[in-house]
Chain A
Amino acid sequence: MDLLTSVVGTMLFVVIFAIVSARASQVKVITPRLQKPPVKSERKIFLCKDGMLRPFDWDGGKRKLMEGLGKISYDNAPSLVKKANARDVVDGCFSYKLAYDDWGTEDELYRSVSLVAQPVGCEMGEEVSDLDKPSSNFSRTLNLLDKGKTWVSFLVDQKSIAVFYAARKITMESGFASGWDPISIISFPYKECIIGCPGEENKAAGVGSGVQW
């Protein structure tokens, strides 16, 4: 009977503790402010999608494709695009290719070049529990970057707030400036004009508005 009473008493204590904890738990949220990225710094994008964190090296993919191509004109665009795509640029989770499109009127034809990101089989996605481990791909990636020349941008979907918080905490503790945007602004395959765009300035991959911390 003593044993039974103790068990019942313990269960009651656990229940009362759970109720009290659930009603009074607090989460500290910092207050960010949108600012321009550090001068002459490169952006590193990470995707927080479906509860997983993956690298999305949009700027790196663009740099690797465009490197050494020279000036792209209307006439040489097809051949240069083909040459760039032969490099088969992949960052582990996305492949990057160039594409060209004609635009304009019958009298004046122009050719724009776009960067296209396509998801590939990715085993580098990490959940919240993976980020705390020393073997975390995310931490290893950050360790390879120069915090003075790189800032981190996160794209976050509705299911990935927890993994974003965890990744951002690591990013800030590592000394990087960072920001985030909702992922709803892009869908895959993601295509964005980078050269010769019709009436627009070259803009970032719909993201990376700026640093917030």
Chain B
Amino acid sequence: MAKLKFSDEQPINLFPMIDILTGTIGCFIFFVSAITVFQLGAGKSVSINVQKSVKGRHVKTPIMIEWDGKNVVIHPEKTKVPLAMTDFSSQELASIGKSSDSDTESAVLEGKIRSRIENTQFANLLRRIQRNRDDKYIVVMVRPSGFDTLLVLRNFLLTKGIDVGYEPIDQNWKLELK
């Protein structure tokens, strides 16, 4: 009488191989995505909550500029105006904070800055704001690289009779005006 023979051999099964393949592909996707994130950078886009300041009954509109120690960037057009201050002496920088109009160092600094921004968009902006100083003022978004010279820029703007505010921002933030 014939008997069916039960084979002791296992049939060929490719499912474990698919498991390994799927896991490997998933890991590759994870690594590539992680590398992509780092390459693109995680720079935050910063939305600026524009709040008008109040003085009596007047509400002033802030005009935003960025300062990184070398360039003024005017928003929202993002016009970049170079303004080097690296050659200012320590004595000139130490004159920061003096309020006297007759101070020699402050006057020299002011003259230097004025000559460097002459005929630039920044100078045009300052003239526009001076004409409308009851309605507009400047907010300087200052990056860490601009900390050393912020007060020089601030005092220069104050000599123009323009109200000023300043806010520190991270070096890598991308500003979007809203």
Contacts and interface: CB of A to CB of B under 8 A. Distances in A.
Interface of A: 1, 4-5, 7-8, 11-12, 15-16, 18-19, 22-34, 156-159, 161, 164, 180-185, 200-201, 203, 206, 209, 212
B141 interface: yes
B147 A158 contact: yes
B168 A164 contact: yes
Contacts of A157: 147
A12 B142 CA distance: 38
Given A4-B19, A31-B51, A185 B168 contact: no
Contacts of A164: 168
B147 A33 contact: no
A209 B152 CA distance: 13
Contacts of B166: 32, 34, 212
Given A26-B46, A157-B147, A31 B167 contact: yes
B1 interface: no
Contacts of B168: 156, 161, 164, 180, 182
A25 B45 contact: yes
Contacts of B60: 33
Given A33-B163, A157-B147, A12 B37 contact: no
Interface in B110-148: 137, 139, 141-142, 144-145, 147-148
Given A157-B147, A184-B148, A27 B164 contact: no
Query: Interface of chain B, helix or strand or loop or mixed?
Result: mixed
Contact of A185 (B45, B139, B151): B151
Most B CB within 10 A of own CB, among A12, A30, A201: A30
A28 B42 CA distance: 17
B97 interface: yes
Chain B residues touching A, range: 35 or more
Nearest to B45: A26
Given A12-B29, A206-B97, A27 B173 contact: yes
A19 B41 CA distance: 10
Contacts of A5: 22
28 contacts: A7-B23, A11-B29, A11-B30, A23-B40, A26-B45, A26-B47, A27-B46, A28-B49, A29-B47, A30-B49, A31-B48, A31-B49, A31-B50, A31-B139, A32-B165, A33-B60, A33-B137, A34-B154, A157-B147, A158-B145, A161-B168, A164-B168, A180-B168, A183-B147, A185-B97, A203-B97, A209-B97, A212-B165
A32 B150 CA distance: 15
Contact of B48 (A22, A23, A29, A159): A29
Nearest to B50: A31
Interface string B145-178: 1011011001000000001111111100100100
